[in-house]
Each structure stands twice: as C-alpha cells, then as structure tokens.
Structure 1
Amino acid sequence: MRGINEEIQYKGLRIHLQIQDLGPREPVIQALLYKSGRLIHSRRVSYAAYLNQPNLALKAQSLLQELHKTIIADIHSGKFDHLLTPGEKQG
C-alpha cells in the first residue's frame, strides 16, 4: 500500500491529510482529511478501469499525486471552511 501522510497548516490549524492506494484488490485511491483527530472529509477515486493495463502502478501513482494536489488546493481555497468553527474560520 502506497500513500502520503502530511500535516497542513491552514488558518493556524494543523490538518492531517492521509492519501493511500488501497491496492488492486480494492482499486481505489482514498483521501482522508482530519482536524483534531476527527475525520472531516473523505474522497475516493477508483482506478478499476486500469486494472488490465500494463502501466497500472504508474497510473495509480499518478492518480494518488493528482488527488493529493487537488485536496491541498481545495483546503487552501476554503472549500472545507464550512467544517471549521467560527473561531477557526478567522485564522
């Protein structure tokens, strides 16, 4: 199982982002976003359509990196601000 674990600073908060490839038995890239140890968002991207292609590992890694960039951009654009308390939104 490959993945990324990263602490992101946003508005003075530490947000933990965990992204993992669940593997060919469950061909999904899963992103989990935590604030204060509590899961606040999850996203899954299937790569089942690529299972029979010779470049499966490269495609899965590419999807993982793409999802990582997307989630980071979503955080910094305020997409998850509705999940913050009023005090946290002030930053």
Structure 2
Amino acid sequence: MTLKNQKILVDEMDDGMDEKLKEIGYDAYSVKKLRTEGKKLHADYSVINYARENDMILVTRDTESGIACQENNLPCILLDNDEIFKIVVEKLKQF
C-alpha cells in the first residue's frame, strides 16, 4: 500500500493542509470540516479514536495527542516545536 492510499486526518490547528494534501493525491480529511458535517470531534480522545477507527494517520501539533498516539501504537505525525526547530535548522543550512 502506498502512502497516497492512506487516509490522513489533519487536526484543527492545520485546517487547510487537508486540501493541499488532496491536491497532490492524498486521501486527507480535516477535523474542523468533519465537525461541520456533524462529527463529534471536540476532545483530543475523540479525534484520536476517530483516526484509529478509520485507519487514519493523524497530523497534529498537539503534543499530548502525539504522545497518546505513540503510547497506543497509532500512526501520527507530530508537528511540535522540536520538529519545527529541525526544519529551521535545515533551512538555515541553505544560507
């Protein structure tokens, strides 16, 4: 299975990333948009559980959600300050 066949759930802080991922062929969904469709995804637990039940990779900036995914062996991309710092360092190498 290729990654583009994987379903991705983008947490509310990065709403809009789902659309960009869709443009390049990913099957991506937004927590914020799913809420407007009536899904009950207000608590972190609900978001994580929804991702698990729907076989999705969660993309989040929420450190607690990232840790919960790790503890429960759920696929997650955590965009925390450490990850952002790594990106900044890599970009600085270009100068």
Q: TM-score if structure 2 supplies the norm length?
A: 0.27
Between structures 1 and 2, the one with greater strand share: 1
Greater Rg, structure 1 or structure 2? 1
Q: TM-score if structure 1 supplies the norm length?
A: 0.28
Between structures 1 and 2, the one with greater helix share: 2
